[in-house]
């Protein structure tokens, strides 16, 4: 089936576009823009992670390392070399992809819990390295000179540019996620997820398929990192390599439904709205991460396939629409 004739693709795109255009329609544009940016960032990170976690079945706990590394590389180019934003974003993505390629060759030999542990170790190692890496500002990090925003028409305009870029990037990621899922490459990844040994016997070249899945799932977080820290104006090791954010991304993928295109989009939207409510609630604001943990527990116990997976298995007719 041709991809554009699949209603599943249109549903995912419609949801992403709806999140993106919401600020333009809202009365408090600046506020909704920030909320929407946060959701889009989550959608982008979750959809990228899903290529590895959902399609390939490799649980990366430290996936945020690619967001941090890409963010740092892009930020450095913006700050020190006055590179245009799009160059920084591409460089951030490439850097993360390259790191993933090299790492993947080593750690993708590990399976299950060993792989997950290795990814946490890599994130911690990356943070420790950057803390001691003077070129990137060491433990203090880097701050953008305000003049940088001038070439984008001032800070306010720059915020909109960051937002629109994020929306476009998120749209690209959801399309890529869909194309991967419906391609031969994606079928190979899912075969690896279901049974790696059997997949190899069938002819799936598991080592290189896994590596490319890892690279693909790393490139986009790298680009997202650049956009976020460009908007943020400064970058520090704890923000760039925040393990909490990594785990929250896993929660969003699991909540929506791992291995589906729609799942990470829906999961991110639900989780970020929930988080927004919890953060302003006096009762929950200090324990909102605990809520994420409990949520993950509940999903895995009662709805292991997530919202989309549950809907698909419950209502067979929806299978054509929910990819």
Partner 1 sequence: MTGQAQTPILQIQAVSKHFGGLQALSNVTFDLPEGQILGLIGPNGAGKTTLFNCINGIYPPEQGHVIFRGRDITGWKPYRVARTGLARTHQIVQPLNELTVLQNVIAGASFGHEHHPLSQAREIADQVLTFVGLAERRDALAAKLNVAQKKRLELARALAARPYLLLLDEVLAGLNPTEIAEMVDVVRAIRDQGVTILIIEHVMHALMNVSDRVIVLDYGEQIAEGSPDEVANDPKVIEAYLGDPKLAQQMMLAE
**Which residues are near partner 1 by CB under 8 A?**
183-184, 187-188, 190-191, 193-195, 197-206, 259
Q: How far is the CB of 313 from partner 1 (least distance, A)?
A: 9
* 111 versus 150: smaller Cβ distance to partner 1: 111
Q: How far is the CB of 187 from partner 1 (least distance, A)?
A: 5
Q: How far is the CB of 13 from partner 1 (least distance, A)?
A: 22
Separation CA 21–CA 32 (nearest Å) = 10
Cβ contact 96:69 at 8 Å: yes
CA-to-CA dists, residue 152 to 98, 147, 215, 222, 232, angstroms: 29, 10, 31, 22, 15
Separation CA 317–CA 61 (nearest Å) = 34
* 70 versus 264: smaller Cβ distance to partner 1: 264
Q: How far is the CB of 178 from partner 1 (least distance, A)?
A: 14
Cβ contact 36:242 at 8 Å: no
- Residue by residue, DSSP assigns 69-116 as HHHHHHHHHHHHH---HHHHHHHHHHHHHHHHHHHHHHHTTS-HHHHH
* 46 versus 204: smaller Cβ distance to partner 1: 204
* 200 versus 239: smaller Cβ distance to partner 1: 200
- Residue by residue, DSSP assigns 121-155 as HHHHHHHHHHHT-GGGTGGG-EE--THHHHTTTHH
Q: How far is the CB of 316 from partner 1 (least distance, A)?
A: 9
Q: How far is the CB of 1 from partner 1 (least distance, A)?
A: 9
* 53 versus 130: smaller Cβ distance to partner 1: 53
* 21 versus 198: smaller Cβ distance to partner 1: 198
Q: How far is the CB of 54 from partner 1 (least distance, A)?
A: 11
Residues near 253 by Cβ (< 8 Å), separated by ≥ 6? 46, 49, 50, 53, 54, 263, 264, 267, 306
* 201 versus 280: smaller Cβ distance to partner 1: 201
CA 91 from centroid of its chain's CA atoms: 17
């Amino acid at each position: 089936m041709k991809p554009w004739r699949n209603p599943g693709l249109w549903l995912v795109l419609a949801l992403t576009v709806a999140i993106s255009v919401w600020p333009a329609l809202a009365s408090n544009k600046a506020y909704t823009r920030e909320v929407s940016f946060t959701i889009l960032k989550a959608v982008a990170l979750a959809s990228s992670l899903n290529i590895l976690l959902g399609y390939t079945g490799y649980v990366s706990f430290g996936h945020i390392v690619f967001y941090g590394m890409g963010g740092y590389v892009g930020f450095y180019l913006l700050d020190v070399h006055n590179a245009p934003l799009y160059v920084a974003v591409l460089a951030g993505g490439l850097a993360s992809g390259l790191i993933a390629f090299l790492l993947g060759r080593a750690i993708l030999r590990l399976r299950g819990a060993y792989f997950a542990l290795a990814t946490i170790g890599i994130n911690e190692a990356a943070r420790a390295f950057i803390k001691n890496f003077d070129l990137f500002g060491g433990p203090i990090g880097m701050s953008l000179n305000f003049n940088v925003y001038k070439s984008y028409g001032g800070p306010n305009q720059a915020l909109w540019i960051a937002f629109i870029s994020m929306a476009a990037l998120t749209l690209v990621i959801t399309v890529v996620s869909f194309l991967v899922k419906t391609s031969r490459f994606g079928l190979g990844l899912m075969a690896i997820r279901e049974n790696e040994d059997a997949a190899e016997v069938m002819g799936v070249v598991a080592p290189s398929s896994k590596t490319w899945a890892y690279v693909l799932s790393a490139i986009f977080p790298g680009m997202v990192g650049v956009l976020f820290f460009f908007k943020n104006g400064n970058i520090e090791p704890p923000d760039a390599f925040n393990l909490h954010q990594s785990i929250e991304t896993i929660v969003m993928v699991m909540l929506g439904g791992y291995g589906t295109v729609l799942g990470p989009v829906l999961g991110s939207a639900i989780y970020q709205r929930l988080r927004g409510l919890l953060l302003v609630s006096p009762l929950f604001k200090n324990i909102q991460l605990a809520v994420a943990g409990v949520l993950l527990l509940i999903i895995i116990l009662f709805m292991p396939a997530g919202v989309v997976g549950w809907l698909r298995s419950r209502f067979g007719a929806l299978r054509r629409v929910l990819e």
